[in-house]
């Protein structure tokens, strides 16, 4: 990995050692300097093999836009931009300048690389891929030379293939395209970015090979403004997490080569996987197939998909077994979450369990009716109530709290901060960043305390129900949402008869 650095260090150590022993090291220093000059000369001529970017050879590309699910808006926007290249003669008659760069932005695992490969197939272009980290080293000029080699290689490969288009895909471009001036100790980052800017400026529509640069990043806010101006990355295409329909489309793509049992309902699976990316859904389908294989089943059933959701979210089941006291506390905690969730939104609970998995001793899962992009104050307050219900249930039944609620508190604090930014605190509209730390802390405490009191009152009024369902959960270790509601109705019926 760092052979050149190690070699330089050993060489310097050898020279110092020989000098200390009384040897004349001047010839060695002269030879070293000559070797360095020779290496630099070969590097500048592009003759050093190590300067050719690893993995950027033209890939066999059979990906099409039909193979990408859940990104209909991104695909349409990308196609519109690519049509300028695909039908350049018509665009040229109208005076359209060819696009030089398209930036794909969005969370990890949403299919940015697949979109770039599909773009190459759509335009019948040579596809060459590289990662931003491959351009940066400690030696000044190496990254810039690699950029030059990349563009030269794209033109050569296109000509060898008899094509007049080439797409260069740079993943993780924020590594080399970050804002200049941040790394004062070394100018390699700035030189590499400057060379990329020069190469993109040099792209012309009348070349024998038309080059389009497609880049992907999760953090577009870190990129240098010079990259984002018109004439370089002309278009930014947002590749977001898929909605329910998109998740269903992705699941169908990833299960088309898998035998599915008659009870499989992919729409129900899509509904249960809010927040999953395309990569998560691919892993989900694969995990379900693994579970079916482990059981010796001939087809993948719905239970395999439900189990796979938990594996993807939390990890595999753990072999460790908590003590009886810990299990009882976990059962009370998860039942508290479930009770309050069912109270604020009936029918929302899908699963609760005390089976250790990943880093959690137990968990409960909610069902979401539909993907939401806006939240009302009432919805956020209900979400806070559900998050705080676990630790409040522990206090109501066991008289004390535990460290198991740390993650709930972190999530609750983030929700409360969102409410402050949205003007849902007693201050109304106020810039969260400009608020004094003491005022901000006081507002967070008020919002959280209000919901804590609300939940505490509800769980104290339903303490017997809480204990009863927690006992059933502890005995069964896992309850489905339907079984949970059956127990809830049973307890409510028993309470009604006693009152009469």
Cβ distance 43 to 141 under 8 Å? Answer: yes
To the nearest 10 degrees (0 to 180), the angle between helices 26-44 and 142-160 is 40
Cβ distance 223 to 236 under 8 Å? Answer: no
DSSP H or E segment with residue 213: strand 210-217
Instruction: Report how far apart the first and last C-alpha atoms of the chain are (Å, whole number).
Output: 78
DSSP 3-state of 247: helix
Has 334 been annotated as catalytic? yes
Return the C-alpha torsion angle 40, 44, 50, 56, nearest 10.
160
- Ranges assigned E (strand) in 262-330: none
Long-range pairs for 493-499 at CB < 8 Å and ≥24 separation?
A: 495/464, 495/465
Rg (alpha carbons) of the chain, rounded to whole number: 30
How many Å separate Cα 180 from the centre of its chain?
26
Cβ distance 380 to 387 under 8 Å? Answer: no
What does 39-82 look like in DSSP terms, one character per residue?
HHHHHHTT--GGGSPTT-SPPP----GGG--S-HHHHHHHHHHH
Of 91, 82, 149, nearest in space to 117 by CA: 82
What does the alpha-carbon distance between residue 132 and residue 110 come to, in Å, rounded to a whole number? 18
- Ranges assigned E (strand) in 309-399: 349-353, 363-366
DSSP 3-state of 357: strand
Q: Name residue 233's beta-bridge partners.
A: 101
Other beta carbons within 10 Å of 126:
27
Tokens of 370: 């539909």
- Give the strand pairing for 349-353 and 478-480: antiparallel
Catalytic residue among 137, 272, 334, 381, which? 334
Tokens of 293: 């294989």
What does the alpha-carbon distance between residue 455 and residue 298 come to, in Å, rounded to a whole number? 47
Of 236, 223, 193, 232, nearest in space to 100 by CA: 232
How many Å separate Cα 347 from the centre of its chain?
29
Cβ distance 352 to 478 under 8 Å? Answer: yes
Cβ distance 182 to 137 under 8 Å? Answer: no
Of 265, 256, 303, 313, nearest in space to 69 by CA: 256
Residues with a catalytic annotation lie at 334
């Amino acid at each position: 990995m760092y052979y050149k650095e190690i070699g330089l260090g050993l060489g310097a150590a050898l020279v110092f050692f020989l000098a200390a022993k009384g040897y004349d090291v001047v010839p060695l220093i002269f030879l070293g300097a000559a070797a360095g000059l020779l290496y630099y000369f070969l590097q500048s001529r592009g003759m050093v093999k190590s300067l050719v970017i690893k993995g950027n050879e033209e890939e066999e590309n059979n990906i099409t836009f039909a193979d990408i699910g859940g990104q209909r808006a991104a695909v349409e926007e990308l196609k519109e931009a690519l049509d300028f290249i695909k039908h350049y003669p018509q665009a040229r008659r109208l005076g359209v300048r060819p696009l030089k760069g398209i930036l794909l932005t969005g969370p990890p695992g949403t299919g940015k690389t697949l979109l770039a490969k599909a773009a190459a197939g759509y335009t019948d272009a040579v596809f060459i891929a590289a990662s931003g980290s491959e351009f940066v080293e400690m030696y000044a000029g190496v990254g810039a030379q690699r950029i030059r080699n990349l563009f030269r290689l794209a033109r050569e490969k296109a000509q060898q293939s008899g094509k007049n288009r080439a797409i260069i895909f740079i993943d993780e471009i924020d590594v080399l395209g970050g804002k200049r001036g941040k790394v004062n100790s070394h100018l390699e980052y700035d030189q590499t970015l400057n060379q990329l800017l020069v190469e993109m400026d040099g792209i012309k529509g009348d070349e024998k090979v038309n080059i389009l640069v497609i880049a992907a990043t999760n953090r577009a806010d870190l990129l240098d403004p010079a990259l984002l101006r018109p004439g370089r990355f002309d278009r930014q295409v947002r590749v977001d997490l898929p909605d329910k329909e998109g998740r269903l489309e992705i699941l169908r793509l990833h299960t088309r080569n898998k035998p599915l049992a008659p009870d499989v309902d992919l729409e129900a699976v899509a509904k249960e996987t809010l927040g999953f990316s395309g990569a998560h859904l691919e892993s989900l389908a694969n995990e379900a197939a693994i579970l079916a294989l482990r059981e010796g089943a001939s087809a993948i059933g719905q239970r395999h998909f439900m189990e796979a959701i938990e594996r993807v979210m939390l990890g595999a089941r753990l072999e460790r077994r908590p003590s009886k006291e810990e299990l009882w506390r976990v059962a009370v905690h998860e039942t508290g979450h479930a009770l309050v969730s069912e109270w604020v939104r009936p029918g929302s609970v899908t699963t609760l369990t005390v089976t250790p998995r990943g880093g959690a001793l137990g968990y409960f899962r909610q069902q979401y009716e539909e993907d939401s992009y806006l939240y009302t104050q009432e919805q956020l307050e209900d979400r806070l109530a559900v998050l705080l219900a676990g630790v409040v249930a522990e206090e109501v039944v066991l008289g004390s709290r535990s460290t198991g609620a740390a993650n709930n508190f972190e999530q609750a604090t983030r929700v409360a901060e969102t409410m402050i930014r949205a003007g849902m605190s007693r201050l109304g509209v106020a810039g969260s960043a400009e608020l004094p730390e003491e005022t901000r802390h006081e507002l967070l405490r008020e919002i959280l305390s209000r919901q804590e009191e609300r939940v505490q009152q509800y769980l104290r009024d339903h303490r017997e129900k809480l204990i009863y369902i927690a006992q059933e959960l502890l005995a069964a270790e896992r309850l489905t949402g339907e079984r949970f509601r059956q127990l809830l109705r049973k307890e409510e019926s028993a309470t009604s008869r006693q009152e009469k």
